[in-house]
Structure 1
Amino acid sequence: MVDVPATLTGARVVTPGGVHEGWLRIEEGRVAALGSGAPPEGGTVHDVGGAWVAPGLVDTHVHGGAGHAFTEADPEGALKTVRFNRSRGVTSLVGGLVAASPEDTVRQVSALAELCEAGELAGIYLEGPFIARARCGAHDPGLLRDPDTAEFDAWLEAGRGHVRMITVAPELPGALDLIRAASSSGVTAAVGHTEATYEQTLAAVEAGATVATHLYNAMRPLGHRDPGPIAALLGDERVTVELILDNVHVHPGAAGLVFAAAGAERVSLVTDAMAATGLGDGEYTLGALRVRVSEGRARLVETGAIASSTIVLPQAVRNAVALGVSAPEALRSASSVPAKALGLAGAGRIEAGAPADLVVLGEDLSVTDVFHRGLRISGGVS
């Protein structure tokens, strides 16, 4: 494909500062300019007819798709997951791993680092193994262990600067030291899969934790006398809260409370999607655990626990709008908010000089076109 200048006209462009109505110019794979009135001459012109033009979406919590999981440590399979998401408007992906042995984790991190260096993945996310057995969800409880900074350092070395986030249960021995180590290394520390009290959660935030891993799910529930991690994370403006908005993991009524309490600027829409995404019902694996998908709902075969989702991020955006969140806010919650939370430079923003990773959406927020590094990907679908 030849990278020629392109101009999108008749667009409602979602920018960090608001919605710009007019045209957007792409040159050499980057956003060159935004404007109103007559568009610049030269190159191709795409009249999008008043459609939304948003930053390419950013999924910072995803484990697989299109039949492949990031735990496979298979760059070819992982690349299929990336391209599947990209064709659907998710242009930045952080590859998520689950609890595994120390040796397997090093191998998986090293394999994903190759894709990060090739510019295909935006980073690596470690959801385990430093999480609570009582709230392990779809992680193998036999692989969970107390936080170990030496083990974490080995992952950093294997990741060659591409480990972006790790989830930790604050109540575990050594958790606060691990959170401090992550923060000082430039890795986002997240609180999740936890039985932590309100006070233990606040201590984690003071130590440097800045993200809530899929709020509500796999954590001590909210109580009016025992508020636990949910109240602590929702109430602290330093924390970005992940929300799996597939209407399975979280009831719409509970999801609406998150937007009301935190505001869209602190809500990061994620999918927590697994290998089955895009394939339909059947039996799959998540790490070493068997998962059965029925009517799009994934559950562990052994326990029946919810195990990841099977949606792609545009569906979460539509579900947010169905709650009453405005389209621009919902789109930012799936782009600039997660990108900022993990420090993903250049992702999730439309501004002059930024990479031209763009998604074009119709009035119903279905994906009609995708641009990756300025090149148009045909057949965008949501």
Structure 2
Amino acid sequence: MTETLEGFSPEGEPLRVRFSPAGIEEISPITSAPDLLLAPGLIDIQLNGFGGVDVNDADEGRPLAELPPLLWAHGVTTFYPTVISAAGDRVAHLLARIGAARAADAGFAACVPGIHLEGPYLSARDGYRGAHDRAILRDPDIAEFEGWQEAAGGLIRIITLAPERAGAAEFTRYVTDRGVTASAGHSAASAADIEAFCRAGGRLSTHLGNGLPATIERHDNVLWPQLAASRLWATFIADGHHLPAPVLTALLRAKGTGRSVLVSDAVTVAGCPPGDYRTAVGGNVTVEDSGRVSLSGTPYLAGSGASLAQCVRWACTTAGLPAADVLAMATRHPADLLGLTDRGRLAVGARADLVQFERDSAGRPGAVRTTVAGGVVRYTAPEPTG
């Protein structure tokens, strides 16, 4: 069945997109369009959970297949479930759980082209390790990773590690040769460590500007070498809590928007009402009225409470970044980074993943109105009442 959506492209051009489950079939310029913004479906390459569904729940609470409908309401049509540092058998179990969900549910499989493994080969130093458990952080182990990749059915596509760990360069070369994107994060690496990481094939920095102590050396720190490395792309969390607006703007100018990707880093309590919760990662956490998620009783962040759509809106409105650039960092750029050639773009022949946003007078995205995934309308915002 063929359907159409109309709206303004991120560049401000009125257009009509004709689509079906076979893909985007036609894109036509039109003389006028509804005052809506029409973009590719959002791609979130770091998502730990959402709306009470937890990727890292080894006790298997709510089914992972509940994630796509929750995310469709926020315009996300592709995501990489992110498994956090844990003991080896637990990691294997969590990876196998994701693989089983893909095998059992075609809709889930279509939304999940791969898995992001964040740790456990990270720095154990306070500040750099963030909320990761120091007791299980360790040096890279190729044999252990091979077992995990087998448990995952080959789905691990991104792994975040600390380049200063013993054996990190050899490990980075090994995974890169097998099509896995190695990303530096939760790291106290020196400039020499970052250079070795890049030479070994490292391509990415995970949530750059975060996973750092409150105070670092002015010049000799892990941030500048990653910003300066032309080989490295970088992800950024634009939820309004992880990075102040001027910091995000400065980091993007240094790295260049063309090599930058927005991620949510959303955790299971993202999208949940304010209050205290118990989670598989972090333990007791608090969702504040602002949506900020912290370790209960502390000022420390425990992941993000925002969806990628909310990050996009914050980056456009509060940080004042151009909508076309922001949306590219949440669609085309992650697709290009990870070789998703049929996603992240408005193009004939591409997979029909689309999102229609409300649009303000400056052309910036507001609330999600419609989401199409795989050529099927998956979400339509309810009509206002009253």
Confirm or deny a common fold (TM above 0.5).
Answer: yes
- C-alpha distance in 2, partners of 1:172/1:262? 24
1:179 aligns with 2:172: yes
- How far apart are the structure 1 equivalents of 2:102 and 2:222? 32
**2:137 corresponds to which residue?**
144
For residue 191 of structure 1, report the CA deviation from its aligned partner: 0.1
The equivalent of 1:335 in structure 2 is: 331
| TM superposition shift of 1:19 | 5.9
Corresponding residue of 1:6:
3
Cα deviation for residue 336 of structure 1 reads 1.2
Which has the larger displacement, 338-347 or 244-253?
Answer: 338-347
Distance in 1 between the 2:194 and 2:49 partners? 29
Sort the Cα spacing of 1:68 and 1:378 in 2 relative to 1 into closer, same or farther, 3 A: closer
| Preserved CA contact (<8 Å) 1:243 1:269 | yes
Matched, 1:53 2:38: yes
**Correspondence for 1:283:** 277
Q: Which runs of 5+ in 2 are unaligned?
A: none
1:377 paired residue number: 378
Q: Are the aligned partners of 1:30 and 1:356 in contact in 2 as well (CA < 8 Å)? A: yes
- Deviation digits for residues 32-69 of structure 1, max 9, x if unmatched? 1212359xxxxxxxx95042211100110110011121
Normalised by the size of structure 2, how large is the TM-score?
Answer: 0.89
CA distance in 1, matches of 2:279, 2:30: 53
Question: C-alpha displacement at 1:286, in angstroms?
Answer: 4.0
Aligned-residue offset at 1:326: 1.1
1:30·1:353 contact (CA, 8 Å) conserved in 2?
Answer: yes
Q: 1:380 to 1:188 in 2, by over 3 A?
A: farther
- Whether 1:133 aligns to 2:124 is yes
Q: How many residues align?
A: 365
SS at match of 1:376: strand
Please name the residue that 2:303 is paired with. Answer: 308
Shift of 1:201: 1.2
- The 5-angstrom pairing of residues 182-261 of structure 1 reads 182-219=175-212, 223-226=217-220, 228-261=221-254
1:164 aligns with 2:165: no
Counterpart amino acid of residue 281 in structure 2: G
**Separation of aligned partners in 2, 1:56 and 1:75:** 28
Alignment of 1:31-46 (within 5 A): 31-37=24-30
Q: Secondary structure at the match of 2:380?
A: coil
Matched, 1:350 2:346: yes
* 1:44 corresponds to: none
**Displacement after TM superposition at 1:189 (Å):** 0.4
Corresponding position of 1:107: 93
The answer to whether the 8 Å contact 1:89/1:380 transfers is: no
Q: Is 1:297–2:292 an aligned residue pair? A: yes
What secondary structure is seen at the aligned counterpart in 1 of 2:199? helix
Distance (whole Å) between structure 1 residues aligned to residue 342 and residue 102 of structure 2 = 14
Q: Distance in 2 between matches of 1:138 and 1:342?
A: 26
Q: Take 1:78 and 1:138, find their aligned partners in 2: how far apart are those partners?
A: 23
Q: Tell me how far 1:302 sits from its aligned partner.
A: 7.1
Give me the whole-angstrom Cα distance separating, in 2, the residues matched to 1:319 and 1:146: 37
1:146 counterpart letter in structure 2: D
Shift of 1:150: 0.5
Query: Which residue type is aligned with residue 302 of structure 2?
Result: A
Rounded Cα–Cα distance in structure 2 between residues aligned with 1:28 and 1:67: 29
* Cα distance between partner residues in 1 of 2:253 and 2:379: 37
Change (3 A) 1:168 1:378: closer
